[in-house]
Amino acid sequence: MTDLFTEKSKNFDASDMVRNMSSAVGSSILKNIPFNEIMNVMDFGAGTGLISSHVAPLVNKIVAVDISQSMLEKLTSKPELSGKVQAVCRDIIDKPLDEKFDLIMSAMALHHVKDTNDIIRVISEHLKPDGRIALADLDKEDGSFHPANTEGVFHFGFDRDELKEILENNDFCDIRFTTAHIIHGETKDYPLFLVTAKKS
């Protein structure tokens, strides 16, 4: 599998946009999810662990899943995540984990997955009964957020009502959207939603 993030991973954490977005999304997850020290969490599309860093002190463990080995190498090099976060490089649609979680969280990963219904189904299957999700991504946009022809981008954000329907069809209830952050582009703004829900 080609790692599309080999170059991007080198300076990923140095980006002000990335840091501000991760801080806002992390804060929004902390505000909207009840955490405890026995929780086991999956960080889907974990990247360099910026979201995991917010959550790790509050839970039992985090399994950080990503298809980019270079991003996960950045994550595992961070001392604050040592012993708390386990990195797993794989596509869980093709090769699910043999573990179920209390929470699955994600930031800016859904638009990199071709079949949204497929990944929501797989996320649901990886949750314990009454498990929760906290998924952040772009609201529907005109395609200008990423440079033209960026590899691995399958969706120009998401319509909240359409995503809610996909979640309902995959056994989620108590579905709530909030605007977690706004990325200020050169010519326009790009809102990010956080959707939380419980597996019914």
CATH number at residue 176: 3.40.50.150
Decide: 136 and 166 in contact? Cβ < 8 Å. no
Please tell me the total number of residues recorded for the chain in this structure: 200
DSSP state at residue 151: T
The residue segments making up the domain with residue 162 are 6-199
Q: pLDDT value at position 112?
A: 92
81-108 average pLDDT score: 95
In a domain, 14, yes or no: yes
Average pLDDT over residues 46-74: 95
Residue 113 confidence (pLDDT): 92
β-bridge pairing 127-138 and 189-199? antiparallel
Give the pLDDT mean for 146-166. 89
Helix (H, G, I), strand (E, B) or coil at 99: coil
Residue 138 has pLDDT above 80, yes or no: yes
Q: How many domains does the chain have?
A: 1
**What pLDDT does residue 7 have?**
53
- At residue 71, the 3 state secondary structure works out as helix
Instruction: Provide the pLDDT confidence category of residue 132 given band limits of 50, 70 and 90.
Output: very high
Domain contains 171: yes
User: What is the Cα–Cα distance from 76 to 58, expressed in whole angstroms?
Assistant: 18
Q: Please say if the pLDDT value at position 136 is more than 70.
A: yes
Per-residue pLDDT at 59 exceeds 80: yes
pLDDT score of 144: 81
User: 1 lies in a domain?
Assistant: no
Cα-based distances in Å from 18 to 21, 32, 109: 5, 21, 13
- Is residue 155 a part of any domain in this protein? yes
Strands 172-184 and 127-138: what pairing? unpaired
pLDDT for position 13? 62
**Residue 71 one-letter amino acid:** M
As a whole number, the mean pLDDT across the chain is 91
101-107 and 127-138 strand pairing: parallel
Residue 71's CB: how many other CB atoms inside 10 A?
A: 24
Give tens-digit pLDDT for 187-196: 899 999 999 9
Average pLDDT over every residue of 127-142: 95
Mean pLDDT value of segment 128-140: 96
